[in-house]
Amino acid sequence: MADNIKLLAAGLLIAAGIAGFYLLADMPTVVRVLSVLAGLAAATGAAWFTEPGQRFFVFSRESVVEARKVVWPTRKETLQMTGVVILFAVVMALFLWIVDGSLTWLVQLLMGRSE
């Protein structure tokens, strides 16, 4: 029950930060954005002390560790795969254009509207 209250407080802190953005309409944009960031920071602090919040932060740390294990493609591999995808998209577009034109011509021929 205490975790639910803390999470509700975190949600209210986010809402307060967003409300501050609109209530401070006559202030410079920097102040308004800082209001939202302060609400998010306070909400993060409140969520930190909940059990679901702790699980989320552990999950986040583990995700960063796993992302470091990924073997990212080289620039050459990325460009080659991008070229293959673009070529496939162009070939598929041409194929569909030909099929569409053929079907349009066939339907017009069957309806007696051919020119």
9 and 39 in a single domain? The answer is: yes
Shared-domain flag, residues 52 and 93? no
Is residue 58 located within the same domain as residue 109? no
Q: Which of 69, 86, 107 is the last residue of a domain?
A: 69
Same domain, 85 and 63: no
DSSP 111: T
H helices of 1-115, in order, are 2-23, 29-48, 51-69, 75-110
Q: Are residues 37 and 91 in the same domain?
A: no
Please count the structural domains in the chain. 2
30 and 6 in a common domain: yes
Most confident of 2-6, 46-50, 87-91: 87-91
Instruction: Give the CA dihedral 71, 75, 78, 84, nearest 10 degrees.
Output: -140
59-102 pLDDT, tens digit each: 999 999 999 999 989 999 999 999 999 999 999 999 999 999 99
Give the pTM.
Answer: 0.53
Q: Which of 32, 54, 69 lies at the terminal end of a domain, its last residue?
A: 69
